[in-house]
Structure 1
Amino acid sequence: MVSAIVFAFAIFCGWLIVDIVKQRKLTLENVLSSLVVAVIAGLAWWVLELIF
């Protein structure tokens, strides 16, 4: 479970950095889209941990 949270946080930070570099500014839309992607990635990682 801890690794899924760490993975989700890393995805959030990485996605946010990519959006900031691409658009040259930080917006609420970028933060929310990064958060959604991070939650989905974290859940997927957690499910993979359960399966394997």
Structure 2
Amino acid sequence: MITAIIFGFAIFCGWLVFDVTKQKKLTLENIVSSLVVGVIGALGWWILDLFF
């Protein structure tokens, strides 16, 4: 579970940096989309961790 949270946070940070460098500004839309991608990534990692 902890690894899924760390993975989700890393995905969130990476996606946020990618969006900010692409658009040259930080907006609420970038933060929310990065959060959604991070949560989806964390859930996927957690599900994979359950099976393997």
TM-score where L is the length of structure 2:
0.99
Three-state SS of the structure 2 residue aligned to 1:9 is helix
RMSD: 0.2
Partner of 1:50 in structure 2?
A: 50
Give the alignment's TM-score, normalised by structure 1. Answer: 0.99
Report the residue type matching 1:14 in the other structure: G
Offset of residue 3 of structure 1: 0.2
**Could you say what secondary structure the match of 2:25 adopts?**
coil
Alpha-carbon deviations, 1:2-49, whole Å to 9, x = none?
Answer: 000000000000000000000000000000000000000000000000
Match in the other structure for 2:30: 30
Give every structure 1 segment of 4 or more consecutive aligned residues whose post-TM-superposition deviation is greater than 6 Å.
none
Partners of 2:2 and 2:32 lie apart in 1 by: 22
Unaligned runs of 5+ in 1: none
